[in-house]
C-alpha cells in the first residue's frame, strides 16, 4: 500500500489525534449501561405532557482496500456511510416511547426503526419495526462500537429488523433479564441476518427503501427468545454478563432462511477492560434433499479504555459452512444454470456459478477509537479478511479512517 496514497488521510488523523505531550489526561470513564456514549437528549415539551427529541448520527469513512492476487487497489474510497435522523416522543412519566428513525444517505435511504414501547415496572412491551432480541452486542447501537462496523458474523446470524411484538424484562444492575418476541419472518433490511441467502447466490431485498417498494412475503412467524444474567462487579458499572439466545422460523423460505439460530454470549467489563465472546450456530433445510445442515461462527473482541478517551481494541470473527451446505448449494446452482433459457444463461451463470465454493470467512481487526467529545468519535482501523473457497482463497486488506458526529 503506497504511503503517498494515504498522505492526506494521515494528515487528517495527525491533526485530529490528541498530542502525547498533553498535560494530565482526563479521567478514564468507560461507557456503561447507566452512562452510555453520546450527548444527552435535548427534549422539547409538547402539549399533553409529551416531549420530543430529534436524534441523529452521521459517519464519514475513508477506506483503502487491496485484494491479494486480484487487485492492488485504487484510490481510497470516501463515503457517507450512515446518516441517521429520527424522532423520539415520550410521555410525562417516560413510560411510553414512540421512535422513528430513518437513514438518509444517498446509497440507502430507508426506514430503520418505527415502534411504540411501553414500560410497566421492569417489563417493556414493544410493537413495530425493530431489531430482534438476539445478543446484547447486536441489540446495542452502532455508535458505541469499538470497531468501525459490525463483524461479518452479523451478516449471517443477525439480528436484523422485522415487524413484530416483544415483551422484555430488564435487570437494573444485577439479576436475570430476558425477552420474547413473535415476528413476521421477513428481514426488512439486507445488511444483517441474511441467513443463507447470499450463500445460495440469491439477491437480498430492502423492504424499507424509500426509492422502491417491495411486497413482504406471506407471514412465516419467527420466534425469538433471549435469557441472561448480569453479575455486578463493584459500583462503577463493571459486570459479568452471560446470555443465551435462540430463534426459530416456523416456515423458513428455502435457500434464504435459517430455521434455527442460537448464540451464547459472554461479556466482561472490569475497570478499563472490555471483553466480549459470542458463539453462533444455525440450521437450515437443504434444497436438494430432506436433510438439515449447519453453519457456525464466533466473534471475540478485547478493548482497553485508556486516558485521553482512547480505546484500542482487537477482534476476530469467523463463519464456517458445513460440507453438506457446500454440496447442496453447488448442486442447486448447477441445476439452475442447466434449466435456464439460453438468453438468460449468462446471467444465471454469473449469479450461481460460484455457489457452493465458499467454505468459510474470517477477519482480524485492530482499531483505535478516540472520543474527544460526547458528540464526536474517530476510528483508525486495519483489517485483514479471508474468504476460504474451494480452489482459491481470497485475502483482502483494508485501512479505514472514520469520523462520527452525534446530534
Q: How many residues does the chain have?
A: 407
Confidence of residue 71 (pLDDT cuts 50, 70, 90): low
Confidence of residue 16 (pLDDT cuts 50, 70, 90): very low
pLDDT at residue 220 above 80? yes
CA-derived radius of gyration, the chain: 22
Confidence of residue 179 (pLDDT cuts 50, 70, 90): very high
The answer to whether 378 and 403 are in contact (CB under 8 A) is yes
Angle 323-339/345-352 helices, nearest 10 degrees? 170
Query: Which cell numbers in the block locate residue 398?
Result: 483494508
Q: Is 396 or 236 the better-scoring residue by pLDDT?
A: 396
Q: Buried b / exposed e across 180-198, counting CB within 10 Å, b at 16+?
A: ebebbbbbbbbebbbbbbe
User: Apex CA 280: angle with CA 279 and CA 284, to 5°?
Assistant: 160
* DSSP H or E segment with residue 323: helix 323-339
Find the mean pLDDT for residues 67-91. 84
pLDDT at 27: 42
pLDDT at 218: 87
pLDDT in tens, 379-396: 999 999 999 988 778 899
**3-state percent breakdown (helix, strand, coil) of the chain, nearest 5:** 15, 50, 35
Top mean-pLDDT range of 3-17, 66-80, 386-400: 386-400
Tally: H helices and E strands in the chain = 5, 17
E strand spans, 121-251:
123-131, 161-169, 175-183, 222-232, 239-249
Q: Is the pTM of this model over 0.85?
A: yes
pLDDT in tens, 305-358: 999 999 999 999 999 999 999 999 999 999 999 999 989 889 989 888 888 889
DSSP alpha helices (H): ranges in 258-315? Answer: none
Confidence of residue 40 (pLDDT cuts 50, 70, 90): low
Confidence of residue 19 (pLDDT cuts 50, 70, 90): very low
The answer to whether 258 and 281 are in contact (CB under 8 A) is no
Distances (CA, A) of 170 to 5, 37, 177, 266, 269: 49, 20, 5, 17, 18
pLDDT at residue 15 above 60? no
pLDDT at 299: 98
Task: Report the greatest alpha carbon distance in the chain.
Answer: 72
Confidence of residue 192 (pLDDT cuts 50, 70, 90): confident
pLDDT in tens, 288-314: 888 899 999 999 999 999 999 999 999
pLDDT at residue 38 above 70? no
**Ordered domains of the chain (ranges, CATH):** 45-406 (2.40.160.10)
pLDDT at 353: 85
pLDDT at 217: 83
Find the mean pLDDT for residues 65-75. 72
pLDDT at 36: 44
Mean model confidence pLDDT for the chain = 87
pLDDT at 26: 41
Cβ-based neighbours of 237, under 8 Å, separated by 6 or more: 30, 32, 33, 34, 35, 269
pLDDT in tens, 108-152: 899 999 999 999 988 999 999 999 999 999 999 999 999 999 999
pLDDT at residue 186 above 60? yes
Amino acid at each position: 500500500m503506497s504511503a503517498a496514497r494515504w498522505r492526506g488521510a494521515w494528515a487528517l488523523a495527525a491533526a485530529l489525534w490528541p498530542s502525547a505531550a498533553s498535560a494530565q489526561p482526563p479521567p478514564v470513564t468507560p461507557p456503561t449501561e447507566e452512562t452510555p456514549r453520546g450527548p444527552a437528549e435535548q427534549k422539547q415539551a409538547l402539549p399533553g405532557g409529551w416531549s420530543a427529541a430529534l436524534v441523529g448520527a452521521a459517519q464519514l469513512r475513508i477506506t483503502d482496500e487491496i485484494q491479494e492476487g486480484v487487485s492492488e487497489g485504487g484510490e481510497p474510497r470516501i463515503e457517507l456511510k450512515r446518516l441517521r435522523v429520527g424522532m423520539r416522543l415520550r410521555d410525562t412519566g417516560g413510560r411510553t416511547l414512540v421512535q422513528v428513525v430513518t437513514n438518509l444517505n444517498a446509497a440507502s435511504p430507508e426506514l430503520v426503526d418505527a415502534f411504540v414501547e411501553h414500560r410497566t415496572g421492569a417489563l417493556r412491551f414493544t410493537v413495530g419495526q425493530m431489531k430482534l432480541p438476539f445478543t446484547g452486542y447486536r441489540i446495542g447501537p452502532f455508535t458505541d462500537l469499538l470497531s468501525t462496523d459490525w463483524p461479518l458474523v452479523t451478516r449471517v446470524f443477525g439480528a436484523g429488523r422485522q415487524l413484530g411484538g416483544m415483551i422484555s424484562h430488564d435487570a437494573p444492575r444485577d439479576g436475570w433479564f430476558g425477552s420474547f418476541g413473535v415476528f413476521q419472518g421477513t428481514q426488512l433490511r439486507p445488511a444483517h441476518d441474511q441467513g443463507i441467502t447470499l450463500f445460495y447466490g440469491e439477491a437480498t431485498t430492502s423492504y424499507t427503501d424509500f426509492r422502491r417498494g417491495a411486497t413482504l412475503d406471506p407471514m412465516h412467524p419467527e420466534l425469538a427468545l433471549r435469557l441472561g444474567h448480569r453479575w455486578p462487579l463493584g459500583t462503577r458499572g463493571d459486570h459479568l454478563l452471560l446470555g443465551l439466545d435462540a430463534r426459530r422460523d416456523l416456515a423458513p423460505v428455502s435457500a434464504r432462511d435459517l430455521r434455527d439460530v442460537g448464540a451464547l454470549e459472554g461479556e466482561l467489563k472490569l475497570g478499563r477492560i472490555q471483553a466480549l465472546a459470542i458463539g453462533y450456530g444455525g440450521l437450515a433445510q437443504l434444497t436438494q434433499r430432506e436433510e438439515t445442515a449447519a453453519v457456525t461462527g464466533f466473534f471475540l473482541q478485547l478493548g482497553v479504555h485508556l486516558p485521553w478517551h482512547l480505546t484500542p481494541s482487537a477482534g476476530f470473527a469467523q463463519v464456517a459452512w458445513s460440507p453438506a451446505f457446500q454440496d447442496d448449494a453447488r448442486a442447486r446452482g448447477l441445476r439452475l444454470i442447466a434449466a435456464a433459457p439460453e438468453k438468460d444463461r449468462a446471467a444465471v451463470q454469473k449469479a450461481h456459478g460460484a455457489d457452493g465454493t465458499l467454505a468459510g470467512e474470517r477477519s482480524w481487526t485492530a482499531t483505535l477509537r478516540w472520543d474527544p467529545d460526547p458528540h464526536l468519535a474517530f476510528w483508525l482501523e486495519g483489517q485483514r479478511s479471508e474468504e476460504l473457497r474451494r480452489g482459491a482463497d481470497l485475502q483482502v486488506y483494508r485501512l479505514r479512517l472514520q469520523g462520527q458526529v452525534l446530534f
